[in-house]
Each structure stands twice: as structure tokens, then as C-alpha cells.
Chains A and B, each alone.
Chain A
Amino acid sequence: MHQQCIDELTPPEMQPGETVDEGEFFRNLNREHVAKCYSGDADEEPEYGYRLGRRQWRYWGRQSPGLSVSLRTCIHSELCSLVLHPLGTDCYHVARIDLGAINRSGLLSSAFVARYDPAAPNLCHFVIQPLDGVVTKWMELGVALNAPFPLAKKLPTTDEDKARARRAYERYRSFVKIRRWVRRQDGSLPST
């Protein structure tokens, strides 16, 4: 699987350090990185879906200056995103982040970019970083993406609130789509 993923990579025609402000990227997630949009929702198949936990957006100040991701059109599958991750065995889910949609949302005061940072064998590796700030911009992104779920502790009860919650989830999915259990719960990987 590992070699097959490497063989099928289609690296972008970019130099290391070059940036883009759009494109879809895979982000590998461990069990704690995914939260239900409404904590009171069903554990399996929650009606209002999943979102990234806020801690996902608090990655600055560690070894990486931003969010480590892989370009979808280069690595092709969520499975290969896990397989080529150096700590991929800790990851079970994968988020597909649409950087262009986030930047076009009008909810951010400035853009985020993805910097090409090939890390063999993953030649599809990028780091998402804010262009015009550090702490404030990551906080802004976290707040902006969480905005559709203002009272996330309580499940919506009225028809109006339920409709709002569904619209909010659809909106969220235009930025981030989460595929759960790309790696099985017992740690194994599916063969295809």
C-alpha cells in the first residue's frame, strides 16, 4: 500500500516554499480531533454531523508553523494521506479542507495560504499558514468556522432552529468535509 501510494503521487509543478491560496487538502486526524457539531447529538450518525475540534486550529508554536496537509489532487486518496503520514498510525479520520472556499467565504480578514513543503516520501505535503498574522488569524479561523453552531451544547428543538442547524452544517461542509474511520477502529487499513 505504502509503495503504491508513492508510485501514484502526482506532485505539483511548484518549488518548495511557493504558496497557493486555493485547492483541496487532506488533514489526518486522530480520535480526539473530531467533535460532533452538537454534543448532545447521537454518537453514531449524528443528525447535525461532525466538525473539527477547535484545537485543530491551535497548531502554531509547535514544530510546524502551520497545519500539515496533503494536496488532494496529488495524493489522490484519504487512505494514502494516512499511509504516507509519519505518525499516520495515530490517525483514523481525514478532513478534506477546501482552502479556496474558506478564503472566499468573506469571513476572514485576510487569506490563508498553503506553502509547498515536500517531505519525502510525501511529495504532496503542504503547510497551511495565515498570510497576515499568527495568533489572531488562527483564532479568527477557528471562530469563523465554528460560527454556524452558536449554541452547540443544546440540540436545536424548534423547526426553525433545526433548519438553521442543517443549513449551518451544509455550509460547514462547503469548507471542511470529514471522513471518519478511514483507518478501522482496530488500527488496520482497508485494502482499497
Chain B
Amino acid sequence: MPTDLAMHSVELNERFIQKMQSAAVDRVVKGDPRPSSAAVRTRDVIVIYHNPFQSPWPQVYWDRILETTGILEFARDTRHENRDIQSGAPAGWRSALEKADQTIRAAYDNPQPREALRTISTVWEHLDLTSELAAARSSLLMGKIDAPKLAELPTWFRVQEAGLLDAAEGEIGASPLAVETAKLLVQAVLASVEEGENLEAELETGPLGRVTIDWQIPGVQMEWMVEATDLPWPSVKVYQVHQRVDGDDLKPPQTHIFHNAFDVVESFSELLRAK
């Protein structure tokens, strides 16, 4: 189905268009008769196929993500690229981390497991130090911004909260810090949604004292896993997995790890707007 990029509110800048164009020329989708492909992000990753010989750029064709094309990795990379552009991160910063990934993967293939572990440990330690740096600077920056507004705590949270702290047999209950963070996050996202939007979630104790929040949103599966953090609100650590479930044509879940409440609220609002 031919369509036009503008119809889908795609925010493109020159660098992203260049990337798409070069991808269209360079990347041939395996097993697909069309000569080239490219990907673009709207609210989700959507793979599009572009035939430069038949239609002028940016006339595109939408298609579903095919497991055999190997396009998922490309779509992920392109999504990251577009996120960088939107967030203002300088181009190229990701390549250093990609090298770290490659080093870990290569080490895993080393026939000497102990040697491989040493290599991975070295890389991991550097990554942890980078993570510490990010946490410290984020914390300082958050001191310059008002914390997200909070709505009243919903009844469904109150009702389920008590059960979180109780440990099931052979397990541990939720960490009070994780429960407190989960509570603030729920209040923050509810403050950001339109009045009348009736949102609920199921709460459960997750592994190692985390709290899982399974949002009940029509057409979307969304789960958070909230854990206690070293730094106070609005620092958080939230694993988010969401997947659209309209129709039979399922797309892979998308994963994010958030470290501040602002990003959680923003992502949540985007998801609701797009549903």
C-alpha cells in the first residue's frame, strides 16, 4: 500500500533522511524480490520498503516485519539513531558501546571460559563506571527541574499494595523502596493523562523485591518492573516492555530501561496517544 511519510507525522531531519536513503541503497532484504529497504520510526519501529527505481523518495511501501529478513536488528539500529536525533545526543557516541557489545560477544566465543570471563569483566566494569557517571550527572540535573506532578493515589493501588510486602513461601516480599517508587510513578503517569482516562493495573511482587505493574490498556500490553534505586525520586529504575496487540498481526515487544520518572511519564503518554 503506497503511502506518504507526512501522513504519519514522521519527524525527519536531514541526517535521518540520509541514513534512510543510504540504507535503501546498501541493504538488500534477503528473500525479498524488492531491491532495497529502509526503516523509519513514527511512534514505533515500522519497516518500510522503498524501491528507488519505481517511486521517487520518500514514496514508500509499508510491510510487516518479517523474521527471515534480518531486518529487526536494522530497525533497532535505526530506531536508536532516530532517538539520538530527537534527544540531541551527538552522532557517533553509540559506536563505542557497540564495540563493547562486540567485545563481549567475541569473548563468549573464546574456547577458554575463564579467559572470556576476564575480558567480559573488564568491559563490564567500565560500563558500570559509565553507568555511575550517568546516575550522578542525572541526579544533579534533576535538581534543576521540578519533579513530575502527582495525581491522587488510585484505590486499586491501595487495595493491592499491602499484598506486595508479604512474602510468599520461599520468596521475599517487595522492597518498601520499590513499592514507594512504584506508587510515585503511578501517581505521576496518572497526573499526565487526560481526565476520564480510566487506567488500572495489576501489581505483583517481582524477583528480588521488585514490583511488577501490569497495565490494563486496551490494545497494548505494557508491563513495568520497578526496583529500588540508590538515588531518591525522581530517579527510578524501571524496566518497561510493551507490545501492541491490535489484530492478529503481532509485532515484537519493545523494551526500555528508564532511569528517571520524566522519561517514564513521557513514554507512557506517547503510548496512550498512539493507541
Shortest distance between the CB of B198 and any CB in chain A (Å): 14
> A41-70 interface mask toward B, CB cutoff 8 Å, 1 = contact, 0 = none?
000000000000011001111100000000
- Give the residue among B65, B204, B239 with the most A Cβ atoms within 10 A: B239
Partner of A143, one of B65, B72, B253: B253
Closest chain-A Cβ to B78's Cβ sits at a distance in Å of: 14
| B207→A136 contact, CB < 8 A | no
**Minimum Cβ distance to chain A for residue B243 (Å):** 5
Instruction: Kindly name the residue among B66, B225, B247, B253 whose own CB sees the greatest number of chain A CB atoms within 10 A.
Output: B253
Asked whether, in the complex, the Cβ of A106 is within 8 Å of the Cβ of B76, the reply is no
- Does B65 lie within 8 Å of A106, measured CB to CB? yes
Say which residue of A58, A143, A167 sits within 8 Å of B243 (CB atoms): A143
Q: How many angstroms between the C-alpha atoms of A191 and B100 in the bound complex?
A: 55
Contact between A109 and B245, CB atoms less than 8 A apart: no
> In the assembled complex, how far is the CB of residue A119 from the closest CB belonging to chain B, in whole angstroms?
19
Say yes or no: is A108 at the interface (Cβ < 8 Å to chain B). yes
Interface size class of chain B, counting residues whose CB lies under 8 Å from the partner chain: 20 to 34
Please determine whether B239 and A139 come into contact, CB atoms closer than 8 angstroms.
yes
CB closest residue in chain A, given B222: A143
Per the 8 Å Cβ criterion, residues 103-144 of A in contact with B are 104-109, 135-136, 139-140, 142-144
Question: Could you tell me the distance between the alpha carbons of A61 and B220 in the complex, rounded to whole angstroms?
Answer: 28
Chain A interface category by residue count: 20 to 34
Residues B223 and A150 in contact, CB atoms below 8 Å apart: no
- For B255, give its contact among A62, A136, A146, A148 (CB under 8 Å): A136
A106 touches B67 (CB 8 A): yes
Is A136 in contact with B241, judged by CB distance below 8 angstroms?
A: yes
CB of B218 within 8 Å of the partner chain? yes
State A147–B249 Cα separation when bound (angstroms).
10
CB-defined contacts of B252 to chain A, threshold 8 Å: 106-109, 140, 144
Q: Is the CB–CB distance between A61 and B207 below 8 Å?
A: yes
* A107 and B245 alpha carbons, distance in the complex (Å): 12
Q: A106-B65, A139-B241 are in contact. Are A58 and B207 (CB under 8 A)?
A: yes
Is A31 among interface residues, defined by CB-CB distance under 8 A? Answer: no
Cβ < 8 Å to B, chain A residues 52-96: 54-55, 58-62
Could you tell me the distance between the alpha carbons of A135 and B55 in the complex, rounded to whole angstroms?
A: 43
**What chain B residues lie within 8 Å of A35 (beta carbons)?**
none
- When chains A and B are docked, how far (Å) is the Cα of A164 from the Cα of B250? 12
Query: Do the beta carbons of A107 and B253 come within 8 Å of each other?
Result: yes
Determine if B154 is an interface residue (Cβ-Cβ < 8 Å): no
**Chain B hits for A104, CB < 8 A:** 67
Residues of A contacting B65 with CB < 8 Å?
A: 106
Shortest beta-carbon distance, A55 to chain B, in Å? 8
Q: In the docked arrangement, what's the CA distance between A105 and B243, Å?
A: 15
B221: interface (CB < 8 Å): yes
What CA separation (Å) do A93 and B223 show in the bound complex? 27
Q: Tell me whether A61 and B250 are in contact in the complex, defined as CB-CB below 8 angstroms, given that A109-B72, A109-B255, A135-B225 are known contacts.
A: no
A residues sitting closer than 8 Å to B (CB atoms) are 17, 54-55, 58-62, 104-109, 135-136, 139-140, 142-144, 146-148, 150-151, 153, 164, 167-168
Q: Other CB < 8 Å A-B pairs besides A143-B223, A143-B243, A151-B218, 17 of them?
A: A17-B113, A59-B207, A62-B207, A104-B67, A106-B72, A107-B253, A109-B252, A139-B255, A140-B241, A140-B255, A143-B242, A147-B221, A147-B250, A147-B253, A150-B220, A150-B245, A164-B248
Q: Which 10 A-B pairs have the closest CB atoms?
A: A106-B67, A150-B245, A61-B207, A139-B241, A136-B255, A61-B208, A143-B253, A143-B241, A140-B253, A107-B252
